[in-house]
Amino acid sequence: MLPRAGDGQPEKKPPKPKRYRLAQMRALLLLAFCSLLRGQAPYDLLLKGGHVIDAKNNIDGIRDVAVKDHKIAAVSPSIPVTEAAKIVDAKGLYVTPGLVDIHVHVYAGTGAKGSYAGDLSLYPDGFTLRGGVTTVADAGSSGWRNFPDFKDRVINRSTTRILAFLNIVGNGMGGGRIEQDMNDMDAKATADRARENAGVIVGIKTAHFSGPEWTPVERAVEAGTAASLPVMVDFGTFRPERPYQDLVLKKLRPGDISTHMYLDAVPMLDQSQKLLPYLAEARKRGVIFDVGHGGGSLLFRQAVPAVQQGWTPDSISTDLHVGSMNAGMKDMLNVMSKFLNMGQSLQAVIAESTWRPAREIKQDALGNLSVGSPADIAVLRLESGHFGFVDSYGAKMSGTRKLDCELTVKNGLVVYDLNGISREDWKKLGPNYKARGANTWDGTLNSTVRGRK
């Protein structure tokens, strides 16, 4: 006797028609084939349909960007999605090279109180990747004596690419008398250390000097000449014995960098708010002017009239440290947004935060999306609304545009993803999903998570 419904045994269902089973089999084979194709895809990661801005290659339009083996593999109007293992929909977003911030202080963890070679510095990864910054240059926190410690403990252990300007003071930015010690300003030892670490040390720095002498600048230039590197100058205390005009018109070489360009002490505007002509003369002879916002070095009353008269940055940088990160400066995108609202174009601001600073420190492989370059990419959203921005003296400027970071890729790996645009919805993954990612594109899941069973 056959069981009936309700007898506690399942009711037998009639077999599916043969054509249905064949269609189902074809669908499964197609899925398996697509998975196989994905596994053998020529690209590891594809950013699809974003607005690419790449100053080096004069790209300003909708493009797809493909990554393979940690390098930029293709930039094209259309790359098929079947050719990539991971696809990120970048429509409505801006895709740029990873941002390059050439003025930060990240020699943290030494325990030195009140010192940029210690407590005033920050470990970078918590402040860079979430803002689209993939490369920084530490601006002189260490000198030739303590650079090996900086390299071992911070540079070699960070996801952020850290380069460095080496301080002309052997003990670096130790604060107080340490930075005023002209006996520790050894041009030969500084140049030797820079040559030993070519490709990591990208310049020489002098900063915070309060005396009337030109000695720090002259020895920094001597070291820079010997090591074939640019010099960055934070002029410290402005003194009549060493006028700023002489610094940029006589002392610095073409390619050397004057940072803190909108600092209050920089002679910039005359009494009628007109730009002083010596600045254009200095730029014409090849001196580079960098923002270096920091905790005290960008004032709207200097920057706004200057920018409106065409005195715009060669490079945008943050001067990131513990005194600036929560004050007027905040982060790289905040500084970039200020210049957008002062009247610069998005294209100019991106160039001043990517290709131009990379070129200033002779790192031509960075700051661009050229095929073969390291796959450092920032995916940015340009927001419209009502926003407020604060300068180093606490004055507010209202604005209508603001940049946010959606995704950061460093060396071809996703290292920051604000809204999960590189991820799959959990509802589609089934009830027992586990950590998902691939070594070819995912840098956000650490080895502990990946190794869990």
Q: 230-254: per-residue pLDDT in tens? A: 999 999 999 999 999 999 999 999 9
Q: Would you put residue 237 in left (φ > 0), alpha (ψ -120 to 50) or beta?
A: beta
pLDDT above 70: percentage of residues in the chain = 89
* CA separation for the pair 231, 437 (Å, rounded): 42
Q: Where are the domains of the chain?
A: 99-374+381-399
- Indicate if the pLDDT at residue 414 is higher than 80: yes
Give the pLDDT mean for 249-264. 98
pLDDT given at position 445: 76
Could you tell me which of 246, 242, 203 has the C-alpha nearest to residue 225?
A: 203
Average pLDDT, the chain: 92
pLDDT given at position 23: 55
pLDDT given at position 18: 56
55: pLDDT confidence band, cut at 50, 70 and 90? very high
- Indicate if the pLDDT at residue 36 is higher than 60: no
Backbone angles phi, psi at 192, to 5 degrees: -65, -45
* CA separation for the pair 418, 420 (Å, rounded): 6
From 154-168, 252-266, 279-293, 431-445, the region with the lowest mean pLDDT: 431-445
Give the pLDDT mean for 135-162. 98
Give the pLDDT mean for 103-125. 97
pLDDT given at position 35: 46
Q: 3-27: per-residue pLDDT in tens? A: 433 444 444 445 555 555 555 555 5
pTM exceeds 0.75 for this model: yes
CATH number, span 99-374+381-399 = 3.20.20.140
